[in-house]
Structure 1
């Protein structure tokens, strides 16, 4: 059974980034809205190649998420289905679904706005501010996440990602990977 601490983290991710239309469940429309938010952040228009690439990536992630988590096959992923799926992941993170690995890479690439292979505080906090989080809190989250370094590389990000979903330690750096400095 998932602990209250981990459930709080999982619901932060569910509510802040996936249930973008605040319907109480995740559905395909949420991923379309996320593509619009991301494209606005980057200055891409709906017909731009980057917009299409982002939308296509997000819809592949949605297809994988729906397949993995939508246990009653109603076209929506509820908070309970979401938590249950991530609880299964936490038991064996090395056997992640393809969509989970795609989502990890998508998130890293989104945050690495310069494309230099690492994420700095400004890149990180700008993304989370665009999703409605407090930018100063996201800067603080980055400081905790990066453990005093000025940037995070892809290999470091992957380890921090896993840590977010499995750790029970409230001070573990991975807890801050989604822009929130405390739970």
Structure 2
């Protein structure tokens, strides 16, 4: 049975791998734009549309937050050690990135709300998670576990709570443990 620290470190390392889209061993602005492009394609949204620009702007802000907290040597590249140390400091020890992170999550969920009803339902959430590489089954399981109030939608508060849980609570079966289900298998 892996220890708490090992599980949380593995989760941090798995998200680093997710963000390092080009697999060159560092997270760079190009990786963040590649993630944004995946989502634009998944939602069928051109980058030039208002919603597309909002998504790219959200990812620009996400990059700024990452650089501020993770790029210790200020070289525009975030290595695995920098990322791990910053995530442990920001989430595990301090509890969150704060208001900047909430703003990025709000923008992301606004883009995911493709029908404009102010809610991110199961279908919309599935598009978001499939763009991150989860299977259809994993998307459904994640939605059920993240929709903690059972209203059929994922709110910003539910999503942020799940992210915080992912980085701070090593227990299986909690909402956060379903954000990246396949990446949590310790080998």
Please list the CA deviations of residues 56-108 of structure 1 after superposition, one character each: whole Å capped at 9, or x if unmatched. Answer: 221122122112111112211112211111111221226x3443223332343
What aligned pairs does 1:54-133 form with structure 2 within 5 A after superposition? Answer: 54-89=55-90, 90-93=92-95, 96-133=97-134
Partner of 1:4: 6
2: CA distance between counterparts of 1:83 and 1:76? 14
More strand per residue: 1
- Greater than 6 Å deviation, 4+ residue runs: none
Change (3 A) 1:111 1:155: same
Query: Contact (CA 8 Å) 2:122, 2:153: kept in 1 or not?
Result: yes
TM-score normalised by L of structure 1: 0.83
2: CA distance between counterparts of 1:6 and 1:80? 14
Secondary structure of 2:21's aligned partner: coil
Query: Contact (CA 8 Å) 1:10, 1:165: kept in 2 or not?
Result: yes
Change (3 A) 1:109 1:154: same
Query: Contact (CA 8 Å) 1:138, 1:180: kept in 2 or not?
Result: no
Query: Contact (CA 8 Å) 1:31, 1:58: kept in 2 or not?
Result: yes
What aligned pairs does 1:11-50 form with structure 2 within 5 A after superposition? Answer: 11-16=13-18, 18-50=19-51
Change (3 A) 1:148 1:103: closer
Structure 1 alignment gaps of length 5 or more: none
Could you tell me which of 151, 154, 162 is aligned with 2:153? 151
TM-score normalised by L of structure 2: 0.82
RMSD: 2.4
2: CA distance between counterparts of 1:46 and 1:173? 31
